[in-house]
Amino acid sequence: MAVETEIFSDSAMIGSNRFKKKIHTETVITCVVCIIAAVLTVSLLIGIIAYILVKGLPAINWEFLSQAPSFLEQTYGILPMIINTVMLVLLGLLITLPIGIGAALYLSEYAKQGKLVSIIRFTIEILSGIPSIIFGLFGALFFVAFFNMGYSILAGAFTLAVITLPVVIRTTEESLKAVDTSYREAAMSMGVNRLHIIRTILLPCSMPGIVTAIILSIGRMVGESAALLCTSGTAYDLPTSFFGHIMESGASLSVQLYQCFTERPPGMSDEAPFAIAAILMIIVFCLNLLTGLIASKFRKGTDS
């Protein structure tokens, strides 16, 4: 009996050691695969950015940044497109942020969870997966034709707001859900009304998620071309006034980059598309940095 017990114990130990070795081998393989995937992803990103910057930065000069394309003088510049891009992004954020954050607050704090809220969330998920050209056709029919805005910066900004609205709603709602419920319960136990809780507790605590939504929206807006071709047009005239220009047609940098490969503007060099792509990346980086700085100032103000 003792011999059988010892044999059984040895077999169990051998089996346990084999099991541990198998788990260790699988863990090592998984770690190696993850490291390789991460290195490939980062290398690909760095390679693309470096290639664009190396090809584009030498073509950037003051004339390129400070003048408009001219058929008569056969010169090329992107100043109108830079102005149009910044106006489209700022107007689009001005439209989509209040609506998106308000909708997220309603779904998270006010709406009774049920079939209606589930349908709304499902609809938002569907909207986030619709191709941008469909939004462009919608904007052309609704904003350009129905509201008689014509091909204009304003019509393009409204279309961009519709495109980025699902991202803002879902990201903000998830950040609101992540706030500890004890904060709400403690405030309500002291008789604080819901609006004050939202303003002083929920929004400051969910600010990182809101900033993420803004950054994702900026990236989507700056890179959008198909929807803007149908709504804001392809003109590249220098604006004479802000409020007058928002009702005029204007091409963004991404639209101009698309046109480089379809109908090359006058005076454009072979390196100009890479220069436009480099400036697009710089604009996105600057806008994201500005968003982070504003959010940090807001958090410091609410903490104090």
Q: Is the pLDDT of residue 12 over 70?
A: no
Give residue-wise pLDDT tens across range 254-297: 888 888 777 766 667 778 888 888 888 888 888 778 877 777 77
For residue 61, give the nearest of 51, 47, 48, 75 by alpha carbon: 75
Name the domain count of the chain.
Answer: 2
pTM: 0.82
Show which of 15, 37, 59 is a domain's final residue. 59
Residues 226 and 134 in one domain: yes
Residue with tokens 């002291």: 190
Q: Are 63 and 50 in contact (CB under 8 A)?
A: no
Q: Is the pLDDT of residue 233 over 50?
A: yes
Which pLDDT value is given to residue 176?
87
Give residue-wise pLDDT tens across range 57-67: 888 888 888 88
Mean pLDDT of 209-226: 87
What phi, psi does 67 have (nearest 5°)? -135, 165
Find all residues with CB under 8 Å of 132, minimum gap 6, and list them: 163, 224, 226, 227
What phi, psi does 287 have (nearest 5°)? -65, -40
Which pLDDT value is given to residue 14?
53
Rounded Cα–Cα distance for residues 250 and 234 (Å): 6
Q: How confident is the model at residue 44 (pLDDT cuts 50, 70, 90)?
A: very high
Which pLDDT value is given to residue 152?
93
Residues 78 and 49 in one domain: no
Mean confidence (pLDDT) of the chain: 83
Residues 77 and 111 in one domain: yes
Rounded Cα–Cα distance for residues 115 and 132 (Å): 28
Residues 237 and 274 in one domain: yes
Residues 34 and 75 in one domain: no
Q: How confident is the model at residue 9 (pLDDT cuts 50, 70, 90)?
A: low
Residues 225 and 283 in one domain: yes
Residues 174 and 25 in one domain: no
Buried b (16+ CB within 10 A) or exposed e, 30-56: eeeeeeeeeeeeeeeeeeeeeebbebb
Q: Is the pLDDT of residue 178 over 90?
A: no
Residues 111 and 17 in one domain: no
Which pLDDT value is given to residue 169?
92
Residues 55 and 12 in one domain: yes
Give the DSSP H/E element, type plus range, for residue 61.
none
The whole domain housing 55 covers 2-59
Give residue-wise pLDDT tens across range 110-141: 888 888 888 888 888 888 888 889 999 999 99
Mean pLDDT of 168-177: 90
Residues 95 and 54 in one domain: no
CATH number (domain holding residue 137)? 1.10.3720.10
Give the DSSP H/E element, type plus range, for residue 153.
helix 153-177
Angle separating helix axes 153-177 and 132-139, nearest 10 degrees: 130
Which pLDDT value is given to residue 113?
80
Q: How confident is the model at residue 190 (pLDDT cuts 50, 70, 90)?
A: confident
Residues 169 and 88 in one domain: yes
CA distances (Å), origin 206, targets 3, 201, 275, 299: 65, 9, 37, 10
- Position 193: which residue type? N
Which pLDDT value is given to residue 3?
45
**Tokens describing residue 110:** 């006010």
Residues 104 and 28 in one domain: no
